[in-house]
Structure 1
Amino acid sequence: MDDHEKENECNRNKDRSPSPGVKSTAVVKYTAFQSPVGYARLQCNTDLNLPPSNWGGIDTYGLKQIITRDSGLSSFRMAHMFPDCVGEVDVISDAECIKKLLKLPYQPNGTVSMMVHRVENTLLLDDFDVYEYLMKSEWSWLKDFFYENILKTMSEKERMSLTLAPSPSSALQLTHKFLSHSLVERPQPLPSVVPHTPMCLAGPFLPEPETRPEEPTNEKSFNRNVLWTFEDIHMLIGSNLPIFGDKDRPCVSLRLRDAREPINVLTGIDYWLDNLMCNVPEVLMCYHLDGIVQKYEPMKTEELPNMENSRFSPKVIRNVAQNILSFLKSNATKAGHTYWLFKGPHDDVVKLYDLTSLCPDDMDNPFTTPVAMLLYRVARNMRLMNRSKHVRQLLEHVVELLQEERYPQIVASSHYMLADLYVPATTNPACPNFKDESSDSEEESDFGDYAEFPPHTKSDGDGGSERDKGDNVEIVSDAADKRTAGGTALSLPRRSEAAGAGARGLALRDIGHRRSARRTNEKIKTDDNKGLGLEPATRCGRALKHALRGLKALHHLTIDKSKEEERERLRQQIIIEEQHPKMANPYEPISMNYEPLKRNKDAKEHVSRSRRRKRERKNTDKSGNCLIESKSKIDKNAILVRKENNTLPNWHEPNRDDNFAWKLHLKTLLYEKICLAYATLAEYSYSHEQFGFSLKYIDLASKCQKLLSNMIIKSRVVDAGCLIGRVGDNFFQLSKHWASLEQFKKQFETDHDIDGQIKIEIENDMAEEIDGDAGDEFELEIALPLSETESMLSSCRYYERAERAAADVTHKRDELLRRRASVCNELAVRYMHDAQQIYIKYVEEADQNDPKVKLLQEQFLTFSRRSSECLEEATTIFEQVKDVPNLALLYCNKARYMRFKAHCDQGSFNSEKRSLYSQAEDLYSSALKLLGPRESCGAVSVWDLVSWELSCHLYTRAVLMQDCPSIYANEVTEVADAFKHALKHCPLSPGPRQYLYQFRAAMIYHRLGSLYHSQYRATAAEGARRRGLLHATCAHYERAALQFAALEDGAMFLTVRLEHVAALEAHAAVSPNLKLKALQNAIELLRQCHSIMKVLKDRDPDEHKEVPKAEVGDEKTLKDEHSLLCLYENRLNFILKSVIQYCRSKSNKDYEKMTIMYKKLYCASLKIKKSDNVRLYAASICDVLTAMDDISKEFE
């Protein structure tokens, strides 16, 4: 049946149940034959004892399945056929097993013997023929238990009834002939293709589950596999019911009945359940007498429960199903364990035994391997289908149940998948973004409701509040099954699993009643520690542990031929497949595995409503764009995984029995995982500044990658350029964190146990797999440096190696070039600093003829030369990659180098020093020109830095020239232009360095004022030039004072103001006509210091304004505040006295009035109280200045 037919049948049957009394839907998952098939009513008196014409021929409609009982673990076969159903449905079983359980209330003397296994949320039920299995030697322990605890209490008749494999009866033979007679046409069997579930995620080839040699190979599949939803129970069942149809009755089941025997309850239930399971609305009864057809009688499926002599309650059947499922799920909780559901002929309690707990450790459980293989298949399928919520638990059960000596492929594959859970193949080492999948366990609510150890249950009396009125079964309290040693009824508290013969019991008198839903209250929270975790270090460590165990499991994989022969055979096979790739057949369609954008709601029909609701609710809480990053914070220099890498690019899945090929394939997968885990750990350590660990993990990843690159099945996990480049990053960071070298050394030399074992595995496989000389691309030979300089040189060497490895990828190579240029720049600065230190020692030496001095001079020249070489190399690289911002910064460093050389010249400001400063200025100007205008350069911070550096350079040059007046006395214009140029490039934009910029601007104004002041003093002749110099002096002093006042720098403000006053005093001394005006201006300037005096008065004594260090040593005339206050007081008194003397020398009445005013001002100034405390001194001056203001107002 194709997908379209299945979808139509699902839609047709979704809202219709063959028996309206209960909710029942059935969706055919797989059918071996076309159904329904045409049939014909047999004529009356047809003799069914005679074989039909097709008797003994090929069974084209599976009719022989009626008389042959299915053998083996049929539920396991169905689970292997439909692994996507495992975990989604509640039960997988043969339809006969289901019917046997549901008929328990109406068959009190019946026998039940079934094996129960749990895989995730699904129970697998199979018939268990006690005598068949007890005859096997490996079940001797169960034989002893069975005889001791069960058979001793039974009669011989009861013992014989335990045999579950009776020979086919004559009635079944007759039924077979009847159905064969009724066939109108011989239906053709559908293609025998095992159902295939499309894979949504591409993954590496992994071995299929193995079968045991002792397992029968002639096991037959069911005619039909159906997803049956009975109330809220979802089951995958195997059914052999033949379905017929014609134009009058399109879907009907045929039944043969003896006309002399009425239909009993059990037969009625059997017919009813068969029709429900296959969604058949009618049954057509054919009555016979001794094989002679008498008549036909049709009957609706919904009428079967009400037939005379066979009445039964569908609600009781429903309650039985719900109670048995609840009982089994509450007690069969351990995946990988084998449980035995048993009821004797006259038992009134159904018992559940945990056979795995009963089995001695030294004895083999024959069910262990099939269970483990099924868990493996389910886990593998769930992982490929991106359903990884319980994959870890399933795989851990697999490796626990299987012996790696017997099943090395499966164990190694399981360890690989476990490692892949912790570190998926899509992991980005720079940003792992691990998700703790244990948080998704709520999606499988039913599985979470039944923890491994369920809680104590209450007495049965608490569960009978919702009984059906039509239920004739009485609930009574049954303390225990006295015939079974250690058995306990469901109503009793659970005992410890340590009890050797412990069992869980379900009383038959309870089984048909509806119980109150308590599952939500019984939910037990699982341990949080069982999640995968979020920390990359933890997850990578666990992935490495599983990968190591997988490698060790492969040691047990036997190879028939010699390794050399197998290696050569596989090598030739790969060469042939590369030369002759598989081509598409133009006449065959290519199947495309895809995941539909919008899933069909019907596909969820077999998923329980509670799980579906929780899943939908959970999905609505998540944002649809949860994986989209608006702004990437991933380090672009991090180790990259080769995304274009395919595990087997030119090699197809190995044959199942090709052990050597599988060994190499699995070994490749495991080493890929190890390499990825170590790369992730290296990035994690680097981001957390654990550079020793990062180097160690890179070293291990490189060894692993070297092995992968030289194996027969070659693989590339990490990008060589990125991996080697990260080594360079680590060495560079070591130089920047040199104080912590011992800590990094300890990290690098510390080996965990797993790391040591992996190293041994790599070394052994290197010797085994690699023939001849291996490539040295990943031969890193990492060793910690002995000095900071050596660390940076090592960084450059690894960057060069990385550049060669990434030569074909332009953007990666350019990025590596940039990083090497940056390290060269740092090296240049380091050499420059070392040269400065040597120069200081050289200057301090008194005897210039000492050999030590010559050695210092040679070292100085060597470091200077190396600094220049590094700067040139960095410049060349940045020009090559056209990195404008970094090139501009490099020009700044080259300019610093020129200034450094000029500074180390002990002579005066000669022509050579002048040339060096000019070259530095040209470099700064080139950097600004390279960046372009500030508004459009795209690197504003770099532009501001270059501009500031240029301003500092021009300022320093001007100061040096100003401080040598004997040489540059006639070049005032050049000095002034240098100051003005420095002021032009001094940025005043707001920012963290605004105070520094404003202070520098104020100092430049001060320097300009001092420059013009000195020129004014040196000019003797009166004239326009002298007046112009005075005006320039006063103007720059005034600007400087305003800047220092804004910065609240009292000392510099007073210095500038007092120099301004001195200039006015000098002008008064040489200009008699303007003397009074000049002195009055000077007094006014001194009185305007009121605001800065208030700042000094109110300043916190613990507050010390931090003046940039570069400016402190630069200003030689700077005096402390107390001295400046004393000088301020002195000049105020002196100038007031000078004005009084000048006014008294005049006879004009106006002068007399001025004399009186200035006398009062002078008297007020004498009230200043000197103090060693600057604050008190300034406070006294403030008071005096206030008083002087009041005096001035009197004379206005």
Structure 2
Amino acid sequence: MEDMEADNDQKRTKSRSPSPGIKSTAVVKYTAFQSPVGYARLQCNTDLNMPPSNWGAAIDSYGLKQILTRGTGFSSFRMAHMFPDCVGEVDVISGAECIKKLLKLPYQPNGTVSMMVHRVENTLLLDDFDVYDYLMKSEWSWLKDFFYENILKTMSEQERTSLTLAPAPSSALQLTHKFLSHSVAPPLQPLQPAPDTQAVCLPDKRPFLPEPETRAEEPPNEHLYNRNVLWTFEDIHMLIGSDLPIFGDKDRPCVSLRLRDAREPINVLTGIDYWLDNLMCNVPEVLMCYHLDGIVQKYEPMKTEDLPNMENSKFSPKVIRNVAQNILSFLKSNATKAGHTYWLFKGPHDDVVKLYDLTSLCPDSLDNPFTTPVAMLLYRVARNMRMTNRSKHVRQLLEHVIELLKVERYPQIVASSHYMLADLYVPATTNPANPDFKEETSDSDCEDPDFATSEYPPTGGGADSAVDVPGDGDSALALQIHNLALRDIGDRVRDTIGRKSSSDSGSALGSSAPQRCGRALTHALKGLLALHHVTINKCKEEERERVKQQIIIEEQHPKMANPFEPIKMSYEPITKTEVKEHNSRSRRRKRERKTSDKTADKTGNCLIESKSNIDKNAIQVLKEKKVYPTWHEPNRDDNFAWKLHLKTLLYENICLAYATLAEYSYSNEQYGFSLKYIDMASKCQKLLSNMIIKSKVVDAGCLIGRVGDNYFQMSKFWHRFEQFKKQFETDHDIDSKIRLELENDMIEEVDKVVADEFELDISLPTSEVSAMLLSCAAYSAAAAAAADRRAELLRRKASVRNELAVRYMNDAQQIYMKYIEEPDLKDPKAKLLLKQFAVTSRKSLDCLDEATEIFKQVNDIPNLALLYCNKGRYLRFKAHCDQGGFGSEKRRLYNEAEELYQSALSLLGPKETCGATSVWELVAWELSCHLYTRAVLMQDTPDIYNEVTEVAEALKHALKHCPLSPGPRQYLYQFRAAMVYHRLGSLYHSQYRITQEEGPKRRTLLNATRTNYEQASNMFALLEDASMFLTVQLEHVAVLETQAAVSPNLKLKSLQSAIQLLRQCHSIMKVLKDKDPEEKETPKPDDGDEKNMKNEHSLLSLYENRLHFILKSIIQYCRSKSNKDYEKITDLHKKLYCASLKIKKNDDIRLYAASICDVLVNMDEISKEFE
């Protein structure tokens, strides 16, 4: 066995192990006594039977009496409770004697092993189990029957007797104790208390929770080890309890003292004992004191590494190492279920070690004395672990706690477990608007596949064998038994840990808000129901008054720092030393460090828009204020205070979960659900605000403001109202149960209900307008409740008022359209419509005025400018309803509207520095539209031709304020500018036609007309708008034809210019030629011109007609002249006319345009021949 591993062991890395052939390190986690103790060698012939001078109470300060006592059955649990940070990190927690007993198995074939094994996460807890001692107790009756029937019947009487785990002879122990007492040298200085070497944990900022409860049946004088040591043996990490006395002097600073009978040689088991004790405590040597009948003979030192090679007691450290690895692999592979009790047993002559899963034998989990300690330990570990990024493991631990404990007996622990589970699903730091529910990484979730959830009792499967245990009636339980053969236990293990491959150890927490909030609410409700079982022996009213006074006193007299005690700092080293660990634990810690460094709490709040994806108007948790109650932790037995405290925590979680659901529903357009969840959250917050332990979770202004948001969104999606109504009226089972708890607690916990800002009366609106009115009312209430957010809430109210004004304006317009359609305007129905129109339009103006005042109050310049625009639109709407011509009343309304638009631009200031470019462009566009509409109205009114100058100025101002900057609306802006140029050209054209006398005015009008037509045609060509381009060009041609008719001297030049304009249409003809028949036209502003606009086919026909007519006119004019130059012009235009006759009319616009394109190309070639 040893030869097979010789080569591998030569490659083993060196360590400071007392036995160099084996990797072993020991770090003291806690020591109860000062160590090492000074010692002096006893003189030869010293009689150890005589009591030493220090025999008595003083010797207790060295912890030497511990060797006379034995550990009780729950020692591993006590260690786990002392060091919860080790649970899950180490492989084994046990006393040193248990470990030694297991490791000596190959050298003690007739030995007996009886231990209880429990698993907590990745850690095994081992405790000695004295069969006879425990089975005599009544609580173990369920195991007694099985033991007698299946084990004792197969043993001989001698084997039965050997099952008793009797201690060593008392006389030998007493003599050893006297020897050690004799050897103690008095210290030169008084002993100082041993420093507490426990690691100082960073302060937990979470609320305090109940401590695990201790069992009343536990012995009061429980055995506490001299020291607790983190022992790493090869790759096995253990937390052990050791009572080995360690001595030291100037020659041998660290040594263990052993008393040996000179007549008896040291056997193998004793040698292994000494070797393991020294390894566990990192002691490099042992000092043997030999005696004869208690008389000291001699001392003999020996190094720890030489102990395996002593004469008559040789053993192989490698075999011991293999035994440790094999047993750990066996236990980890089979003791996989947290909360189950396993019995590791080996009879005196058995060749196998058996592992029984005893949980199936126990009909009631509470009949198992280990159930409560296991549950309490799981609870402590979960409570300690929840600050790490291992929420899935914490969830599994807490679920086991709830399964193991009866809520009637441990209501506080069960309620606390449910609260922690609820807090796992919806942490107290959750931002309802951006919950950030992330799943843990797959490595983190599956790093310990053996730690799997299970049902209680187990359903069986996967055992090496099973024994049918008779039960009540015909039913039978299958007891799982796993065997480990001793034959090969000392061989080299092939898999260090031997973990079973397993799939995911349980369902994940989930990342969707509804899923996690639903589970959080379920656990919070179960926690509230668990608190019903908390017994309060004293009068409830007296207890309430006592707690009230306690809170008042603590608020008036806060804890002050002691000037004589240093304040502990939460210190963490910047550079952390990396400890070599096995892979899974190392990966886990690296993950936790990486996760703890990530912070993503980003917020933004800009006036116009925020770059953050988080809604700045969402429900907010009061993070900066104290989320948890500020009073101090109650006493363990103060049931009334604990019940209040836990109830407060549970309702806080319920309130937060409903707030998160409300935000999720709002963001997913489920406004009915959102209102229902806000109603539940407000009820929770109302209770929390009026309980003895007062707490605020959500901001009142945000919560009520979100009610207003929901009402407003309902008004925008009114066609889905029935869907919202169904959502609001849907009451899930958990909602109704929580509502019942709230109602009961409002009676039980609140003396007198004080109406506060969370007194919400949420109901569904009856109409679209009522939804907006309810929204405004909610914003007003929210602004009154939250002074710090008043401006933002009023701003939202003003926005709804603005929307309401627009709605009233549209309704008024529809009413007016019905009114003017009435045949008799003096009819009662028409009069009623007119009255409704007046009332509705007045409501619109009132809403606009109120919104304007609010925006002035909060100094919201961009929104105030937009309100001025809407008021201007209202005045234009009123002017439009005036059926007369452009009279004084209509002119007054338009003037007032223009003043409002100008005021809006003045408020914003220059476009480059206003900070709201989009708003500035919108206001400028509205002003341009207003001026254009006014000009069109005046221009189209036939009885005011004397107002040409006013019309022209209005059009010019409309052109000035029309933004042409690049952007999504650029096409719209350019089209409007082109239409303004066209209108100006048409205006000057009409004035040119009616001006009879020749002179500067006529020439000015002609130039203005041609200039504006050219600008318009250029812009329409850029926009590729064929119909408007042809319209402008043909009107331009008409001007030139008019000039030719009234100015004979310029006739030829005018006609030639007209032909040139017609030939410039080549590019637009290509557009028509290549136009996709299914292509939709780009939407254009709703202008009156479009009503009279000719379609493209008629424009092409008119184009062809004017081309033929003007060419013939030129030919006729040149023929009347006798000049040779005119002959050349005649010949050119004859050929051009002949070419124009080749235009083929077609109903298909593309073919018609293609024919014109070909003719224009031909005409260009003819013109080049005459150049």
- The residue type paired with residue 734 of structure 2 is I
**Residue range with higher mean Cα deviation, 621-630 or 217-226:** 621-630
Distance in 1 of aligned mates of 2:454 and 2:362: 23
1:44 is matched with 44
Q: Are 1:375 and 2:350 matched, yes or no?
A: no
State which of 715, 719, 722 in structure 1 corresponds to 2:695: 715
2:1101 aligned residue: 1126
Question: 1:724-771: CA deviations, max 9, x gaps?
Answer: 111111111111111111111111111111111111111110111112
Q: 1:1046 aligns with which of 1022, 1027, 1030?
A: 1022
Contact map agreement 1:543 1:677 (CA 8 A) in 2: yes
Aligned to 1:500: 478
Give the corresponding residue for 1:294.
297
Contact 1:450 1:523 in 2 (8 A): no
Which residue does 1:4 correspond to in 2?
Answer: none
Q: Which deviates more from structure 2 when the two are superposed, residues 1046-1055 or residues 531-540?
A: 1046-1055
| 2:1133 aligned partner | 1158
Query: In structure 2, what is the Cα distance between the partners aligned to 1:1028 and 1:502?
Result: 112
- Alignment match of 2:582 (pick from 587, 609, 612): 609
Contact 2:1070 2:1153 in 1 (8 A): yes
**What CA distance in whole angstroms lies between the structure 2 residues aligned with 1:1183 and 1:576?**
101
1:1035 aligns with 2:1004: no
Do the aligned partners of residues 278 and 115 (structure 1) sit closer, same or farther apart at CA in structure 2, a change above 3 Å counting?
Answer: same
Q: Residues 66 and 885 of structure 1: is their aligned pair in 2 closer, same or farther, counting only changes over 3 Å? A: same
Q: Which residue of 2 aligns with 1:897?
A: 874
**Post-superposition shift, 1:197?**
4.4
Deviation at 1:600, TM superposition (A): 4.3
Distance in 2 between the 1:449 and 1:215 partners?
30
Q: Which residue of 1 aligns with 2:193?
A: 190
SS at match of 2:682: helix
- Equivalent in the alignment of 1:988: 964
CA positional deviation for 1:1188: 2.6
Deviation readout 1:1138-1173 (Å, 9 max, x if unpaired): 222222222222223332332333233333222222
Q: Point out the more displaced range, 370-379 or 1087-1096.
A: 1087-1096
Structure 2 matches for 1:210-225, cutoff 5 A?
A: 210-225=213-228
**Residues 1:27 and 2:27 aligned together:** yes
> Structure 1 stretch 743-752 or stretch 306-315: which is displaced more?
743-752
Aligned residues: 1142
* SS at structure 2 position matched to 1:946: helix
Partners of 1:1161 and 1:157 lie apart in 2 by 136
Instruction: Report what 2:1115 is aligned to.
Output: 1140
Q: Following TM superposition, by how much is the alpha carbon of 1:449 offset from its aligned partner in structure 2, in angstroms? A: 11
Match of 1:567 in 2: 544
Closer/same/farther in 2, CA of residues 16 and 518 from structure 1, 3 Å limit: closer
Letter in 2 for 1:1048: E
The aligned counterpart of 1:1073 is 1049
Which residue is equivalent to 1:17?
A: 17
Residue in 2 that maps onto 1:1005: 981
* Residue 618 of structure 1, CA deviation: 4.8
Instruction: Give the conservation status (yes or no) of the 8 Å contact 1:200–1:386.
Output: no
The residue that corresponds to 1:101 in the other structure is 102
Cα RMSD after superposing both structures: 2.5
Partner of 2:435, secondary structure, is coil
Q: Residues 190-589 of structure 1 correspond to what in structure 2 (within 5 A)?
A: 190=193, 195=198, 197-361=200-364, 364-384=367-387, 388-437=391-440, 439-441=442-444, 444=447, 500-517=478-495, 522-526=500-504, 530-589=507-566
Give me the identity figure in percent: 75
Q: Residues of 1 paired with 2:306 and 2:1020: CA distance?
A: 106
Distance 1:1143 1:1187 in 2: 22
Indicate yes or no: 2:724 matched with 1:744: yes
Question: Partner of 1:661 in structure 2?
Answer: 641
Task: For 1:1047, give the aligned amino acid.
Answer: L
Return the alpha-carbon distance in structure 2 between the equivalents of residues 880 and 14 of structure 1: 79
Q: Quote the Cα distance in structure 2 between the aligned partners of 1:336 and 1:361.
A: 13
Equivalent residue, structure 2, for 1:864? 841
Distance 2:647 2:591 in 1: 39
Moved more, 60-69 or 118-127: 60-69
Unpaired runs of 5+ residues, structure 2, are 1-12, 470-474, 604-610
Answer whether contact 1:803 1:813 (CA < 8 A) is retained: yes
CA–CA distance in 1 between the matches of 2:65 and 2:593? 51
Cα distance in 2 between the residues matched to 1:127 and 1:362: 21
Equivalent residue, structure 1, for 2:856 = 879
SS in structure 1 at match of 2:613 = coil
Go from structure 1 to structure 2 and tell me whether the alpha carbon gap of 1:270 and 1:326 turns closer, same or farther (over 3 Å shift).
same
Shift of 1:188: 4.2
Whether contact under 8 Å (1:442, 1:448) holds in the other structure is: no
CA contact (8 A) 1:114 1:342 kept: yes
Contact 2:809/2:844 (8 A) holds in 1: yes
1:1169 aligns with 1144
Whole-Å separation in 2 of the counterparts to 1:54 and 1:929: 100
1:858-1007 matched pairs, under 5 angstroms: 858-967=835-944, 969-1007=945-983
Distance in 2 between residues matched to 1:544 and 1:946, nearest whole Å: 50
Q: Is the 8 A contact 2:329 2:499 kept in 1?
A: no
Q: Distance in 1 between matches of 2:1094 and 2:1032?
A: 11
CA distance in 1, matches of 2:14, 2:513: 47
Whole-angstrom distance in 1 between the partners of 2:499 and 2:79: 33
Q: 1:449 to 1:248 in 2, by over 3 A?
A: farther
Task: Name the CA shift for 1:122/1:739 in 2 (closer, same or farther; >3 Å).
Answer: same
Paired residue type of 2:1167: S
**2:5 — aligned with what?**
none
The CA distance in 1 between the partners of 2:83 and 2:838, in whole Å, is: 80
- Residue 798 of structure 2, aligned match among 818, 821, 836: 821
Q: 1:1103 aligns with which of 1079, 1083, 1092?
A: 1079
Establish whether residue 1149 from structure 1 lines up as the match of residue 1149 from structure 2. no
- What whole-Å deviation, never above 9, does each CA across 1:1003-1044 have from its counterpart, x for those lacking one? 111111110011011111110110111111111112211211
The equivalent residue for 1:832 is 809
Report the 3-state secondary structure (helix = DSSP H, G, I; strand = E; otherwise coil) of the residue aligned with 2:247: coil
Q: In the alignment, residue 292 of structure 2 is paired with which amino acid? A: L
Q: Aligned-pair distance for 1:560?
A: 0.5
> Which residue identity does 1:670 align to in structure 2?
L
Q: Distance in 2 between matches of 1:666 and 1:942?
A: 52
The aligned residue for residue 662 of structure 2 is 682
1:1174 deviation in Å? 2.1
1:213-268 Cα distance to aligned partner (Å, 9 max, x none): 22212203111111111111111111111111111111111100000000000000
For residues 1093-1138 of structure 1, the C-alpha deviation after alignment (integer angstroms, 9 at most, x for no partner) is 2222222222242342513x44443111122222222222222222
Question: Which secondary structure does the structure 1 equivalent of 2:149 belong to?
Answer: helix
Q: Is the 8 A contact 1:262 1:309 kept in 2?
A: yes
Q: Which amino acid aligns with 1:1136?
A: L
- C-alpha distance in 1 between matches for 2:568 and 2:414: 31
Q: 3-state DSSP class of the match of 1:376?
A: helix
Question: For 1:977 and 1:498, how far apart are their aligned partners in 2?
Answer: 104
Change (3 A) 1:1121 1:284: same
Q: Distance in 1 between matches of 2:82 and 2:50?
A: 39
- Corresponding position: 1:791 with 2:771: yes
Q: Is residue 754 from structure 1 mapped to residue 754 from structure 2 by the alignment?
A: no
Task: Give distance in 2, aligned partners of 1:676 and 1:1107.
Answer: 48
User: Normalization by structure 1: what TM-score?
Assistant: 0.92
How far apart, in 1, do the equivalents of 2:761 and 2:401 lie? 40
**Per-residue CA distance 1:171-221 (angstroms, 9 max, x = gap):** 111101111111112774736979574244311111111112222122031
Return the offset for 1:164. Answer: 1.5
Alpha-carbon distance between aligned partners in 1 of 2:779 and 2:231, rounded to the nearest angstrom: 64
With over 3 angstroms needed to count, the CA separation of the structure-2 counterparts of 1:428 and 1:594, relative to structure 1, is: farther
Preserved CA contact (<8 Å) 1:799 1:820: yes
CA distance in 1, matches of 2:55, 2:1127: 154
Question: 1:617-636 counterparts in 2 under 5 A?
Answer: 618=591, 627=600, 632-636=612-616
Unaligned runs of 5+ in 1: 1-12, 459-478, 488-496
Contact 1:81 1:194 in 2 (8 A): no
Distance 2:1011 2:175 in 1: 128
Q: Deviations over 1:105-141 (max 9, x none)?
A: 0001111000000001110000001112211223222
